[in-house]
Amino acid sequence: MILKSEHLAEKQNTLYDAIIVGGGAGGLSAAVYLARYNLKVLVIEKGRGRSFWMQQLWNFIPNVVSGKDLLEGGRRMALDYGADWLNGFVEEVTDTGEEFQVRVKYRRKNSEYPVFRARYLIAASGIMDRLPQLADMHNVYEYAGYNLHVCLICDGYEMTDKRTALIVGSEGAINTAFVLNWFTPYIYVLTGGAFPVSEAMREKLAAHGYPLIEKPIARFLGENHEMNGIEFVDGSQIAVETGLISMGSVRHSAYLESLGLKKDGEDLLTDEMCRTSHPRIFALGDLKKGLNQVSVAVADGTLAATAIWREVRRAAPTRKWEENLQTPAAV
Ligand code: FAD
């Protein structure tokens, strides 16, 4: 059920088997599995995550058209099987040793701060891509996620043999050009002048014929979400057919900080069932080390939910057919 104000008091007394932070691709998959294992599950979703932003979902079978379709279908399925759902922002998680206490900001205006309880926690809150910071961010949102891509694995194919602007946030990210060239050799590398580029990298780009442009971007050109050029602050322009932003990302994991989970860089480390270094916390999808793809996040949800079910099931008494114990059935 979708939780509203009037349900909060009762639901704070419920000990859920699992609370899932994030109702994106991974969280929804875990929710459907947990609900179909007849476990009590609550999904908490703040809205407008990476799945929501995905205009076109590629490389996933069956071919769902967009991230919004995936979210809507997954949420309907989880609710149909009995999961609880709260639109809210998880601010803090405390581990008492027995259970997790999950503090949520519910409603932007007239906010309430309910605390929900669960034996297991699934961190499925994903990441968000860094975008070029222009004076007019509406101009960026007009194209980002359409033909101004953020994911080479997802959208490399869409860039095949197209004139592409690769927008980078660090010298390391310039190396993306030498992967992108599997799909297209027509690459402009744009740094915005945000960092110095080494002589060795300049020579490597020149040897491949990829222009390096270090002027800040003024705006993206185009219409109807179709970017077709870039204008720089000096008024000059380049014509392109597509773009790729490679500026890194921000992890949605502030609520986990006090729990001291093991990481590799910024990525959470997990075992093969998506269990983190805490035995009752699982991490899925983009938040953990691995490929940032819907198919991976969905599979992670399957693994984490199944690991949790195994533990809950093994700790529970086996169910017996009591009537037959009293009077054995005549068969
Ligand atoms: P998400 O889907 O991002 O879900 C995390 C959820 O957690 C979000 O809904 C967010 O709102 C919520 N959340 C975050 N913090 C909190 C909090 N504190 N409290 C409550 N909720 C919270 N992948 C493909 O396989 N194919 C594609 O074609 C493809 N195209 C893409 C296009 C774009 C523009 C982008 C941005 C990504 C694309 N991806 C694609 C990647 C794909 O979106 C991610 O790999 C996938 O969504 C990861 O799933 P996830 O569950 O880990 O995270």
10-residue averages of pLDDT along the chain (331 residues): 96 97 98 98 96 91 86 97 98 97 96 97 97 97 97 97 98 98 98 97 98 98 97 98 97 96 96 98 97 97 98 97 88 83
pLDDT at residue 80 in the model: 98
What is the predicted pLDDT for the residue at 61?
Answer: 85
Task: Provide the whole-model pTM.
Answer: 0.96
Predicted pLDDT at 65: 82
Atom of ligand 1 nearest to the CA of 52: 9
What is the reported pLDDT for 329? Answer: 79
286 lines ligand 1 (CB under 6 A): yes
Ligand 1 centre to CA of 286 (Å) is: 7
Q: Is 4 exposed, middle or buried (0-12, 13-18, 19+ CB in 10 A)?
A: exposed
Q: Round to whole Å and give the CA distance between 24 and 82.
A: 18
DSSP-derived letter for residue 2 is B
Confirm if 49 and 24 have CB atoms less than 8 A apart: yes
**pLDDT value at residue 2:** 97
* Strand order through the sheet with 187-190: 148-149, 242-246, 164-168, 187-190, 212-213
Distance 171 CA to ligand 1 centre (A): 26
Q: Which atom of ligand 1 is nearest to the CA of 286?
A: 52
Per-residue confidence (pLDDT) for residue 50, from 0 to 100? 93
- Going from the Cα of 201 to the center of ligand 1, the distance in angstroms, rounded, reads 32
Does the CA dihedral 227-231-232-233 come out positive or negative? negative
Closest ligand 1 atom, CA of 144? 34
For residue 300, what are its two tokens? 């992670």
Establish whether residue 283 lines the binding site of ligand 1, counting it when its CB lies within 6 angstroms of any ligand atom.
Answer: no
Q: What is the pLDDT of residue 268?
A: 97
Task: Look up residue 138 and give its amino acid.
Answer: H
Nearest CA to ligand 1 atom 3: 50
SS3 248: coil
The C-alpha angle 52, 56, 58, rounded to 5 degrees, equals: 115
Name 79's Cβ contacts closer than 8 Å, sequence gap at least 6. 1, 2, 85
